[in-house]
């Protein structure tokens, strides 16, 4: 089989790129190692920046998002026993974020691709990338015991941090930058109403907490925990008790508890691989960079990557190589700004083992400055809703 672009990875980044390329008249196939049900079973956050929702609207894929998603014009910072609202809408000239689960976004993209009759391969085993340093790259995989090969003009590596795409790049051609944080997030999902109509980020001497939601009846809560902790060490009651301690008394009184339907611990990491292009292989999304979830940037960065890539490939087929030549630098300028913001917000809100009382007081002072300084609050809001593309 021959196509113009082979997309490795069938998560939201790969499927979004597929839709963008289809809109541009570019023939592409999506190759995914896992089953469709497995991909849709992955529970991920879903705070979409204004630019991401605008992109979905441009593709005609925003109807269900607008019907079921929760539009937020702000969020709260909870510290010192008091809650303070950051008014995103006012501070950014009308921008907002939308809470819409990554699973739901992926489902919308999959359904759109199926409706259009576009080619997607699931359960592709032993995927391997070849000859991307030349002009005739190839992707090979095993499907139902048969080895298959796709010849293409370009390969888009959208297969995540542990995928084959970045691993296929020669080690001496890649430079990586990484910070592993000395704590994780213990998260639970529960069929309970959210404690607040908007997200709440809590800084407390006992550690960070986040109150989020998937809908008006399903909540997602997190508490900072040691990196070596285990979710099985936490009963539901123990989780709720600890969460209450980290919230302001007024908010803790409103908390509605219930049995968890999912419980897990996620480590936090900042990671960037440079460059993001190797011949005719382009990395996008988590294949190239990871940010801690504090700033809700991971999915949105993937969306901006594939938007840049789709534009670059459309320009290539129109006769210009300027876009593909600039792809890595263009993406990385935005990536590093998001990495900086996520690192800063994580450092501000979490308790670090070596910090002690001094660090806690510094955090509280900075938070107090942040909520009382229009300039500081505006900087936070601009980064949170997403910097311009």
The catalytic residue positions are 72, 201, 293, 297, 384
User: What is d(CA 57, CA 304) in angstroms, rounded to the nearest whole number?
Assistant: 14
In angstroms, the CA 322 to CA 284 distance is 18
Alpha carbons 335 and 284: distance in angstroms, whole number: 11
Helix (DSSP H) and strand (DSSP E) numbers for the chain: 13, 20
CA–CA dist 389, 383 (Å, integer)? 12
Residues in the chain: 389
CA of 192: how far to CAs of 17, 148, 205, 259, in Å? Answer: 35, 47, 27, 9
Burial profile 94-109: b = 16 or more Cβ within 10 angstroms, e = fewer: ebbbbbbbbbbbbbbb
Terminal Cα-to-Cα distance of the chain (whole angstroms): 35
DSSP string, 177-213: EEEEEEEEEEEEEESS--SSSS-EEE--TT--EEEEE
Phi-psi bin for 47: left (phi > 0), alpha (psi -120 to 50), beta? beta
CA distance 311 to 307: 6
For the sheet with 260-274, list strands across it.
82-87, 74-79, 200-202, 209-213, 219-226, 175-190, 260-274, 289-290
Alpha-carbon span 87 to 335, nearest angstrom: 25
Cis status, amide bond into 153, omega within 30 of 0: no
Q: For the chain, how big is the Rg over CA atoms in Å?
A: 21
């Amino acid at each position: 089989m021959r196509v113009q672009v082979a997309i490795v990875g069938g998560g939201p980044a790969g499927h979004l790129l597929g839709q963008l390329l289809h809109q541009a008249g570019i023939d592409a196939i999506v190759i995914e190692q896992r089953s469709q049900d497995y991909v849709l079973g992955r529970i991920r956050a879903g705070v979409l920046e204004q630019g991401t929702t605008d992109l979905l609207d441009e593709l005609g894929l925003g109807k269900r998002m607008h019907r079921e998603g929760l539009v937020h014009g702000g969020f709260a910072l909870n510290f010192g026993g008091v809650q303070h609202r950051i008014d995103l809408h006012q501070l950014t000239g009308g921008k907002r974020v939308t809470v819409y689960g990554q699973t739901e976004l992926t489902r919308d993209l999959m359904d759109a691709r199926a409706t259009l009759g576009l080619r997607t391969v699931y359960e592709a085993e032993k995927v391997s990338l070849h000859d991307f340093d030349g002009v005739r790259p190839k992707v090979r995989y095993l499907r139902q015991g048969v080895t298959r090969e796709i010849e293409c003009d370009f390969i888009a590596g959208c297969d995540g941090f542990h995928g084959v795409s970045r691993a296929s790049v020669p080690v001496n051609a890649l430079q990586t930058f990484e910070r592993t944080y000395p704590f994780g997030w213990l998260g639970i999902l529960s069929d309970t109403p959210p404690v607040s109509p908007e997200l709440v980020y809590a800084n407390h001497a006992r550690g960070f907490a986040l109150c989020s939601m998937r809908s008006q009846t399903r909540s997602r809560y997190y508490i900072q925990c040691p990196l070596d902790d285990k979710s099985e060490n936490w009963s539901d009651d123990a989780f709720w008790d600890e969460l209450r301690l980290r919230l302001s008394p007024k908010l803790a009184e409103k908390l509605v508890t219930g049995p968890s339907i999912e419980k897990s611990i996620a480590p936090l990491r900042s990671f960037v691989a440079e460059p993001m292009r190797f011949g005719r292989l382009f990395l996008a999304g988590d294949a190239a960079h990871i940010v801690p979830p504090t700033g809700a940037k991971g999915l949105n960065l993937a969306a901006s990557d594939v938007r840049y890539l789709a534009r670059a490939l459309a320009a290539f087929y129109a006769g210009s190589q300027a876009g593909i030549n600039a792809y890595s630098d263009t993406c990385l300028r935005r990536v590093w700004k998001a990495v900086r913001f996520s690192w800063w917000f994580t450092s501000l809100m979490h308790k670090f083992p070596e910090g002690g009382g001094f660090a806690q007081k510094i955090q509280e002072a900075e938070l107090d400055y942040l909520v009382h300084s229009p300039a500081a609050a505006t900087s936070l809001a601009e980064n949170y809703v997403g910097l311009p593309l």
